[in-house]
Amino acid sequence: LADVALADVSLADVSLADVSLADVSLPHVPLAHIPLADIPLADVSLADVSLADVSLADVSLADVSLPHVPLAHVPLADIPLADVSLADVSLPHVPLAHIPLAHIPLAHIPLADIPLADVSLADIPLADIPLADVSLADVSLPHVPLAHIPLADVSLADVSLADVALAD
């Protein structure tokens, strides 16, 4: 399929489960109606592929290299991200507001440039996350368990602590 122009081909009812897409040019292929659940995406270059209208809920992303995937317009809310490594993924433009982050390993994710204003941190274990460079000013902290979080190097200068339980 490497030399086939797939941009104008309807692939909605085509099974691509056993097809190697590693050498296929996908940037102009409409992937929205293609069932991707059984397609091995680990060796597929997704750097220039638009995933905005693609349902990734049933796609295994554990072995997919995400650093060059444009995730800004990808609906991530229904995607199981527990086994997905986001360590090298640029997240500043990714809308995290409706993404369940509780089971995502955040320890190696650079959070400093990520807007966390509308992100719920209530069920997220923050003890292993380096918060020193994270701007907490716009983060809603009332429901965030702070008891086991090392705050020694964390700047709380612009943080509203009025509704934060500081007893523990």
CA 140/CA 115 separation, integer angstroms = 12
Indicate the average pLDDT of the chain: 65
pLDDT of residue 144: 65
Query: Buried (b) or exposed (e) across 119-154, using 16+ Cβ within 10 A?
Result: bbbeebebeebbbeebbbeebbbeebbbeeeeeeeb
Task: Please state the domain extents for the chain.
Answer: 1-84, 93-168
Tens-place pLDDT, residues 118-136: 666 666 666 666 666 666 6
Sheet strands (E) in the chain: none
HSE, CB side, 13 Å, CA atoms: give it for residue 125: 6
Query: Which sign, positive or negative, has the C-alpha torsion 74, 77, 79, 82?
Result: positive
Low-confidence ranges of the chain (pLDDT < 50): none
pLDDT at site 89: 67
pLDDT at res. 140? 65
Residue-level pLDDT at 58: 62
Looking at residue 126, what is its pLDDT? Answer: 66
Our measurement of the distance from residue 46's CA atom to the centroid of its chain's CA atoms, rounded to an integer in Å, reads 14
